[in-house]
Amino acid sequence: MEISVEIRDREAFLFNSTLPGPGGLPRSTQGRVLGLLTSRRGIAAAWLLMKRGCTVIASCDDDDLSDALKVWDADLKVVERSDDTFALATEKGCLAIAKDWSLSELEGAVMPKGDVPVFYPLVGFDDVETENLLDKITRT
CA nearest neighbour of 94 among 57, 66, 131: 57
Per-residue pLDDT tens over the stretch 46-89: 999 999 999 999 999 888 889 999 989 989 999 999 999 999 99
Q: Provide mean pLDDT across the span 8-23.
A: 85
Quick one: what percent of the chain has pLDDT higher than 90? 70
| Domains defined along the chain, listed by start | 25-138 (3.40.50.620)
Per-residue pLDDT tens over the stretch 78-126: 999 999 999 999 999 999 999 999 888 888 888 888 999 999 999 999 9
Q: What pTM was computed for the model?
A: 0.83
